[in-house]
Amino acid sequence: MNVHVQLVRSVLQRTNAYVLLDHIDKFLSVLPRGQQAIYATLAIQVVPIFLIFGLSKILFASKRLSNFLLPVFIAFAMGGLLGDVFFHTLPHLQP
């Protein structure tokens, strides 16, 4: 079995996330597939927005901490964007 699959399964078991996933499954399984896709897409897009907003309010509350973390976050974002660009151009480089 894949190491990543084992890791995800162990995290789900230790955090009892299966309970939440069962509730979500019961809610979504009665809906048509199109609505399931819309709800899943909204959850994937909306949840990180609120997490980022909350973390920014907590981490940037202090001016001293803000001056330290802002360049780190900008560097992380730039690295992610550059990595995304280069990984998306790799398939086009093959003859």
- In this structure, the answer to whether residues 71 and 81 fall within a common structural domain is yes
Are 22 and 1 in the same domain?
yes
Domain count along the chain: 3
Q: Verify that 46 and 70 share a domain, yes or no.
A: no
- Which pLDDT does position 78 carry in this prediction? 93
Looking up tokens 């964007």, which residue turns up?
Answer: 81
Residue 38 confidence (pLDDT): 92
Among 24, 19, 13, CA closest to 47: 24
In this structure, the answer to whether residues 55 and 71 fall within a common structural domain is: no
Q: Which domain holds residue 41?
A: 33-61
37: helix, coil or strand?
A: helix
What are the per-10-residue average pLDDT scores of the chain (95 residues)?
A: 82 84 86 91 87 84 85 90 87 77
Contact between 69 and 60 (Cβ < 8 Å): yes
Statement to judge: residues 68 and 89 lie in one domain: yes
pTM assigned to the model: 0.47
Kindly state whether residues 23 and 38 are assigned to the same domain: no
Say whether both 26 and 7 belong to one domain: yes
